[in-house]
Structure 1
């Protein structure tokens, strides 16, 4: 697969890596600490018609407090054209104490596009209280809204985020989103996903 455009600057460097399959693979590499308070980072990935693109990261992303501005923004924009497939599989996002990060992820898919998207968020390092983390995920297929959700955790978040209806005292949350045209008629069966089962599910998807 060809990568007609591969360009990055600031704390994120882009590297073409070996995929071991037909997909083009790009790895996000942290060139410096970030996102820090006051940063506004944007990652855009587009899989053109019929293409297969796999995007991952070399290490976890660590949200850190800034010296002057409290809030950092991290925007992810994914576009998948007809007959194309995009796999967005970064490592964990870690919310460090006193940090404030707002993450927005938006995926726009053609009617027959395929998407595999994984999010994993860790609230605080070992033995540490979390920072404030707000994460919003929006997925549209052929212009129709499939998913629009937001989760806010840590100091300053709306009450109840750590209660039994949300995290129930846990300090990590994750989800795996799979969009395929065939699921319209042949829905997959529900299953409990831990990390090992998640990796196996990704392997079975090819």
Structure 2
């Protein structure tokens, strides 16, 4: 398995504009706009992704006082690996008084696919993260593939969120897990506590400043988190 790293780095400059450092891997970052202490970057797949043997690594570094908006141009489909695996690892650092907003498009884990995904986020005091993450288990009308997710987020050096999620065609049918749903939609806000937080078991108030909201639905368009995303953003 060959690793190809994509890097997005943004730092503030004395002239007031943000300096953007981009490096392509299996994903190619494209600068959409930049201005005083802010930038917007799109992530574009350079090949058909994800295939068995692919190892996507994404590194994001947001410097002090800078705002970065990341956008996915399209969703990602993990294809039948015929016994092979794919990896998707993300490492994010958000400095003091910096902010990252990333509305991720869905990751679709097709029947026969096996994906290992990790997300590590370090947020300094005063930094903010707003992340939307949507996973669909199987394309419409097909059974799910296998997905293992490991998420670790810290705020000011302290644990804010730790989650391990293992899903497979065997486990998704177990009672009390997904309840027949195949889409897991999550919005995570860390670094502040949004004023408009929905009530209900799908909302988790974190020990550090932050909230996680989650919906389990049959199809992505059914999720109510789109309205919540726009409110928090």
State the match for 1:198 in structure 2: 225
What is the rounded CA distance, in whole Å, between the counterparts of 2:32 and 2:226 in structure 1?
19
The 5 Å alignment of 1:60-139 reads 60-66=75-81, 70-139=84-153
Give the 3 Å change call, closer, same or farther, for CA 197–123 of structure 1 in structure 2. closer
In the alignment, is the contact (CA less than 8 A) between 2:94 and 2:124 conserved in 1?
Answer: yes
Compared CA separation, residues 49 and 38, structure 1 to 2 (3 A): same
Q: Distance in 1 between matches of 2:177 and 2:195?
A: 26
Higher strand share: 2
Distance 2:60 2:140 in 1: 32
Work out whether 1:24 is the aligned partner of 2:39.
yes
Q: Which residue of 1 aligns with 2:62?
A: 47
Residues 132-180 of structure 1: CA distance to partner in whole angstroms, max 9, x if unpaired? 111121110111111110111123x6x4x43342211111111110012
Gaps of 5+ in 2: 1-16, 201-212, 216-220
Question: Post-superposition shift, 1:65?
Answer: 3.0
Match of 2:24 in 1: 8
In the other structure, the counterpart of 1:148 is 162
**Conserved 8 A contact 2:68-2:101:** yes
TM-score (norm 1): 0.85
Query: Larger relative CO (CA 8 A, sep 6+): 1 or 2?
Result: 1
Return the match for 1:176 from 187, 193, 218: 187
Deviation of residue 108 (structure 1)? 0.4
TM-score (norm 2): 0.76
Number of matched pairs: 198
1:77, 1:105 within 8 Å by CA — same for their partners in 2? yes
Q: How far has the Cα of 1:128 moved from its partner?
A: 0.8
TM-aligned CA distance change 1:127 to 1:21, over 3 Å: farther
